Amino acid sequence: MMPKPKRLFYAALSVLFISIGGLIFFPIGMRAVFSVLVTARPTDRADVIVVLAGSTGDRVREGVRLYHAGVAPRILMTGGPFFDTSMAAMMADYAVSLGVPSENILIEDAALSTQTNATGSLPILQAMHARRVLLVTSRFHTARSYRTFRDVLPTDMHLFVQGSDDGVDPETWWRHAEMAETVLIELGKTVYYGVSY
């Protein structure tokens, strides 16, 4: 049997190595968690930009930026009822205030989830004969949005996705309560969608 001081030394050394390993590998694991939620499939040409409701305006600003850059001639706002209006209508008003002509904005105002954003947008996209569709949503929401729309849209519609600047830092999100809440909720929704749809 090893003498007690030697056992204590090896126990302390083990705790030290485990702590150092945790400090090194924990951030890598947290970055990996964030990367599961994010995808980037940008394009410089689309028939329509579809902006999903659910943020504080960053999604609309990104959609408008892409519209003004000439990526697409129209924007479809999708978001359901909100008191006596809809999220889509408020998003459209914001886009108009940012210089998008109202005649270039389409509205889908029944969606209450990412799934219903996709199913509600489909008939509008089909009616306009869209073949290239660019989704705009928060960066942390891009992977689930892309998968959801890809499952709903016909295969002859080319789908792209662009994330807006959502304020979530992939390098430090776990250190900030609000960012951590956002990421963990989206992670839960991603698992739920993976099982349900």
pLDDT tens digits, residue range 39-84? 999 999 999 999 999 888 999 999 999 999 999 999 999 999 999 9
Tell me the average pLDDT across 32-36.
86
Amino acid in position 63: G
- Is residue 184's pLDDT more than 90? no
pLDDT tens digits, residue range 81-124? 999 999 999 999 999 999 999 999 999 999 999 999 999 999 99
- Is residue 140's pLDDT more than 80? yes
Q: Where are the domains of the chain?
A: 48-165+175-196
pLDDT at 27: 75
Give strand pairing partners of 72.
none
Q: Which fold has domain 48-165+175-196?
A: Rossmann fold (3.40.50)
Write down the pTM of the prediction.
0.86
